[in-house]
Amino acid sequence: GAGVSQSPSNKVTEKGKDVELRCDPISGHTALYWYRQSLGQGLEFLIYFQGNSAPDKSGLPSDRFSAERTGGSVSTLTIQRTQQEDSAVYLCASSLVAGDYYEQYFGPGTRLTVT
Amino acid sequence: GNSVTQMEGPVTLSEEAFLTINCTYTATGYPSLFWYVQYPGEGLQLLLKATKADDKGSNKGFEATYRKETTSFHLEKGSVQVSDSAVYFCALTPPNAGGTSYGKLTFGQGTILTVHP
């Protein structure tokens, strides 16, 4: 079946612009996670959704970052007024249910470059 | 806070060599431990996991044992293949206050493995 998909696969934007990154999880998966992979910080957690609610937003780096999930499915990560340090690969993962016993399936990522 | 430390890479081996990638962790309580792999051009995928002390996770010839006394989860494979060339990430999820985890992963920095024929 279809895996986790993310769009766009690559995004180049100018400093100060806003960007939206999209994640389509596996159908029926209730838990959705966003992570960021950058050279300086490695792989780091950003935010977690259970259904449409985000019980843990602790990894969002600043208030320029926000995310939402609608219909218990698609999620959008928005970065406002992008900075060069936002350049990274943004990964989305979903699992059937939140928890250690349920595998997280990762998407291919969106590579964001801020010039 | 919770953290994961992996051995520095890159690691370069010849085919059929023995592989060890060291991983140690710092966490409160009893975390669950994972190894993820990222093959060239592909997304992250779960390789194996262990959810309690002394458990051994295994998959595709890879093994790792959860050692609470040494806070370690070293990855091993007896005979590597060229197709094992990838980036390997050790990770943990901590239990929350209620004793259940929602799966928030904390990753190590990753180890690049290259296997030559």
In DSSP terms, B115 is beta-bridged to B13
Distance CA B87, CA A85 (A): 23
How far does the CA of residue B25 sit from the closest CA of chain A (Å)? Answer: 15
Which amino acid type is present at position A80?
Q
Contact A48/B110, CB-based, under 8 Å? no
Report pLDDT digits (tens) over A42-80: 899 999 999 999 999 999 999 999 999 999 899 999 999
Confidence of residue B97 (pLDDT cuts 50, 70, 90): low
pLDDT cut 90: percent of chain B above it: 76
Name the token pair of B18: 């023995």
Taking the Cβ of residue A12 and every Cβ of chain B, the question of whether any pair is shorter than 8 Å is answered with no
Contact B101/A4, CB-based, under 8 Å? no
What pLDDT sits at residue A102?
84
What pLDDT sits at residue B96?
62
Report pLDDT digits (tens) over B18-64: 999 999 999 988 899 999 999 998 889 999 999 989 999 999 999 99
Average pLDDT estimate for A17-29: 97
How high is the mean pLDDT of chain A?
94
Cα–chain center distance at A85:
16
Chain B residues with CB under 8 Å of A3 CB are: 43
Residue B99 has pLDDT above 60, yes or no: no
Contact A35/B89, CB-based, under 8 Å? no
Residue B98 has pLDDT above 80, yes or no: no
For residue B3, the chain A residue with the least C-alpha distance is A44
Contact A44/B89, CB-based, under 8 Å? no
Q: A15 or B8, which is more confident? A: A15
**A45: nearest CB among B49, B100, B105:** B105
B62: burial class by Cβ within 10 Å (0-12, 13-18, 19+)?
buried
How far does the CA of residue B33 sit from the closest CA of chain A (Å)? Answer: 9
Confidence of residue B1 (pLDDT cuts 50, 70, 90): confident
Average pLDDT estimate for B64-78: 97
Contact B44/A93, CB-based, under 8 Å? yes
Contact A100/B93, CB-based, under 8 Å? yes
Average pLDDT estimate for B10-14: 96
